[in-house]
A and B are shown apart, each in its own frame.
Chain A
Amino acid sequence: MKKIKKSVAMVGILTFLVIIVSQPVNAMHIMEGFLPIGWAVFWWAMSLPFVAFGLYKVGKIFKDKPEQKVLLAIAAAFTFALSAFKLPSVTGSSSHMTGIGLGAIILGPFSTVVIGTVALLFQALLLAHGGITTLGANVFSMAIVGSFVAYGVYKGLLKLNCPKPLTIFFAAFLGDLMTYVTTSVQLALAFPDPIGGFVASLVKFMLIFAWTQLPLAVVEGILTVLVVNAIYKYNEKGLLSNETFTDH
C-alpha cells in the first residue's frame, strides 16, 4: 500500500509540474494542407500497409493474448497523455513528446503503429492539429519510424548486454528524436530550397524540429523508464505475459 501511495504521489508531482508549464498552442507535426498533394498521397501509401498489418496484430492480441490488453491500454494512454503536452524547450520554442517508445518496447512495433495512428487521427479531427491530408506523413514519422527505431534500439542494446534501464532510455529517446528528424526530411523533400536544394532545406527544418526536440526526447526517455519499471513489478507476479518482460 505504501508503494502505491508513493507512486501516486510521484505521478501527481510530475503531472502538476507539466500542467504548470505546458501551454496548448497550435499545431503538431505537419499541418493540414502543408504538403503538396503528390507527397501527401505518397506518405499515405507508404503508411497504409504498416497500419493494416498493425490492425491485424492488435486483433491477434485481443484474440490470443487477452492478458496483454492492459499493456495496450497503458501504451495508448501514455501516447495520448504525452502527445497532448506542449513543453517549452531551450530553443525558445515548444514541442511535444510522442510516447511511442513505450508501446514499441512492451508490445512490439506493429501494434504501436495503430496506437500512434489513433492518437494522430484524434488530434487531426478534433483539435485541428496535424491534418487528414498530412496524416500519412505524420503517421510515417511518428507511429512508424518512431516505433521501429525504438524497437530496433531496444533489441540491439539488449543484445549488447546494455543495462535494461539505459536500453529503455535510449530506445524511447532515439525513437522520439528520429520522429522529428523524419519530419524534417519529409518537409525538405517537399520543399527543397531554391538555391541550396534539399540539404539547405533539411538543415533549416532540422534546426526547427530536431533541435527543439532534444531535451524533450530526454524527458520522454526518462518517463518511459519509469513506466516500464512500474509495469515490471506486476510481471514478476506473473500477471503479464510478454517476451519483453520474460527474457533477460
Chain B
Amino acid sequence: MKLSLITKIVLVLLVAAIIIVPPVILPNATFTGADNQGSNAITSIDPNYKPWFESLFNPGDMEKNLFHFQQALGIGGLIACFVYLNKKSKKPSKIDESN
C-alpha cells in the first residue's frame, strides 16, 4: 500500500474540513461533551439516581493542563517512533532507497 501525495493532501484537507465545519455552521452551539449529556439523560430517565462513587482525585483547574500533557505524550510518542524508524532504516545496508 502506498498513497500518492495528492491522496494524502486530499485526506488531510478532508479531516480539516470535518473538524472546522461544525463550529462554523453552528456558531451558537456550546459543544458540551456528549458524555455530560449522557449523564443528564440518565437523570431524566431516573430522577432518583445518585452517582454512588466519586472520582478519587479531582484535578480541578489542573484538568486542562493534564489534557495537554496527554496530548503531548501521544503526539511526542508518535514523532519519536517515526524518528526511530527512520534512523533504523538508514543504518543497515541500503537495499532499496528508491521507494
Contact yes or no, A208 B71, CB < 8 A: no
B residues near A126, Cβ cutoff 8 Å: 57, 59, 66
Interface contact B30-A123, CB-CB below 8 Å: no
Q: Mostly helix, strand, loop or mixed at chain A's interface? A: helix
Residues 16-37 of B at the A interface (beta carbon under 8 Å): 16, 18-23, 25-26, 29-37
Give every chain B residue within 8 A of A239 (Cβ-Cβ).
85, 88-89
| Chain B interface bracket (under 10, 10 to 19, 20 to 34, 35 or more) | 35 or more
Q: A23-B31, A209-B38 are in contact. Are A201 and B45 (CB under 8 A)?
A: yes
Interface status of A229 (Cβ within 8 A of chain B): yes
Smallest CB–CB gap between B94 and chain A, Å? Answer: 9
Whether A4 contacts B86 by the Cβ 8 Å rule is: yes
Which residues of chain A have C-beta atoms less than 8 A from B57's C-beta? Answer: 125-126, 128
B78 to chain A: closest residue by CB: A77
Number of A-B contacts (CB under 8 A): 236
Distance, CA A150 to CA B71, complexed state (A) = 23
Closest to A90 in B: B22
Q: Is the interface of B mostly helix, strand, loop or mixed?
A: helix
> In the complex, which residues of chain B have a beta carbon less than 8 angstroms from the beta carbon of A21?
19-20, 23
A23 to B12, CA, bound (A): 20
A132 and B22 contact, CB distance less than 8 A: no
Q: Ordered nearest first, which 7 A-B pairs have the shortest CB separation?
A: A81-B74, A77-B77, A33-B51, A80-B74, A92-B29, A24-B67, A33-B53
Taking beta carbons and an 8 Å cutoff, which residues of A are in contact with B?
A: 4, 6-8, 10-11, 13-15, 17-19, 21, 23-34, 36-37, 70, 73-74, 76-95, 122-128, 131-133, 164-165, 183, 187, 191-194, 201, 204-205, 208-209, 212-213, 215-216, 218-219, 222-223, 225-234, 236-239
**Chain B residues in the interface with A (C-beta under 8 A):** 1-3, 5, 7-8, 11-12, 14-16, 18-23, 25-26, 29-39, 41-42, 45-46, 49, 51-59, 63-64, 66-68, 70-71, 73-82, 84-86, 88-89, 95-96, 99
